Amino acid sequence: MTIQKWTIIKMFNNYLTELFDFILPRFCTSCRNKLATAENTVCNSCLSKIKLADPEFIKSEYQRKYESKRIISSFVSQYIFEKDKELQHIIHALKYDKKFHIGIFLGKSLGKHFKSQFQSWNINMVIPIPLHHLKKAERGFNQSYYIAKGISSQTSIAVKANAIKRMRFTQSQTTMTLKEREENVEGAFKVRKTENVKGKNVLLVDDVMT
């Protein structure tokens, strides 16, 4: 394809996008203002207000919670959750308004932001943390699955959505101590087929890390 043809196609696609935005305007998930043609899901203004997670803080949290257990080799988080702020509106729209595309959007952002780090971990598969079957039936979907799909689209690492089964409900861990957290999740998950994950590097994905 010549440069001239590619330019014409790009201009035509931009025209169609602007036309669709005029006929069916899109709105920011957080502030509900109209999105510009180049914006997707969340406007640039709201994105700029979401606090990025400090890598040194994440490192200290890993050392405090997981390093001595030698179960999780490392973890990453892109944003800081703040009550009644932009990110909470986005997460709530994903979880309670069934706006699946938000999960894909967040996953793509994670995949782009941490792509080199994920590659250095030599990850074999991406596994979304499963919901209990009753919770999934009530909500209708697992939000972490869509985040995992977004990550996969940027890294080309396969998503294995059914690799882990949730065996029982767990309580919110927001106010729990480290010991209480361990007791809360003990026996809550089960690998369906051990041979599928044995010796593999697995990226576990959840929407919020407490």
pLDDT tens track for 65-92: 776 666 777 888 999 999 999 999 999 9
Residue range(s) defining the domain that contains residue 145: 96-205
Q: What is the pTM of this model?
A: 0.84
Domain for residue 117, yes or no? yes
Parts of the chain with a pLDDT under 70: 1-6, 8-15, 18-22, 67-70
Residue 159 lies in a domain: yes
Q: What is the pLDDT of residues 5-39, one digit of tens each?
A: 667 666 656 667 766 666 888 899 999 999 988 89
Domain membership of residue 181 (yes or no) is: yes
Nearest to 57 by CA among 73, 76, 81, 84: 76
**Residue 79, in any domain of the structure:** no
Q: For residue 157, how many other CB atoms are within 10 A of its CB?
A: 20
